[in-house]
Homo-oligomer: A and B are copies of this chain.
């Protein structure tokens, strides 16, 4: 019976609850799922600056419990602090962005990522190139919906998502990825509207991790994500318990 940890790297309780709902709904019946958020850090993550603050807060949050789990999902689009986790842990760590892009390659020629804000557009284009998957990326589409909008006005949200999704289709996308936690839960309704597969990255990362665990696979320690060497520290920092 696999035990997996889902880490929401921001400190929003509402988003953490939403992630927990999605994750427990999709997980296999014999998978045990824990969902946590850091004790400190930004309420939401929209910049590399916030990504880095959150990354150390996540390290801090898991350093005492990492060995209780068989695998970890990092649950924020953009995969903030993913590589440190892949290095620090021996169990498999899956980012929701990397998982959803990998899955999207199986479902269509090109995919688009729907994001909340204009500013996320270059960040996600950048991420896709970093992952070497930019040939399969049709576009990143900002919805202009704030997190508040996403939570409060379901009908308007769905209309906006469908409109933006259609724009993605016009740019060649055959698959849509919900690149913002707040959009979670709209995937089925959006599929109904635009008639293409819509990936909820949290759900996808959970099943991807379950698949890795079934196969006994974890990230390679032979190169990019080698375990951090033991290292002399000056003073202390949150999350410095690895290495």
Contacts and interface: CB of A to CB of B under 8 A. Distances in A.
Contact of A41 (B51, B52, B228, B237): B237
A86 to B, nearest CB: 8
Interface string A32-69: 00000011111110111111110111010000000000
Contacts of A184: none
B103 A212 contact: yes
Interface string A158-194: 0000000000010010110000000000001000000
Contact of A218 (B59, B197, B231): B197
A84 to B, nearest CB: 4
Contacts of A239: 52-53
Interface string A1-45: 000000000010000000000000010100000000011111110
Contact of A102 (B84, B88, B103): B103
A215 interface: yes
B110 A122 contact: yes
A214 B187 CA distance: 14
Interface residues of A, number: 97
A87 interface: yes
Contact of A231 (B43, B92, B217): B43
Contacts of A40: 233-237
B130 A129 contact: yes
Given A52-B84, A207-B211, A234 B11 contact: yes
Contacts of A236: 40
A39 B235 contact: yes
Interface string A68-100: 000000000000010110111000101000110
Given A56-B237, A172-B223, 16 more contacts: A26-B214, A26-B215, A42-B234, A48-B84, A48-B86, A48-B225, A49-B84, A56-B238, A92-B107, A103-B212, A107-B219, A108-B220, A110-B122, A110-B223, A126-B130, A132-B133
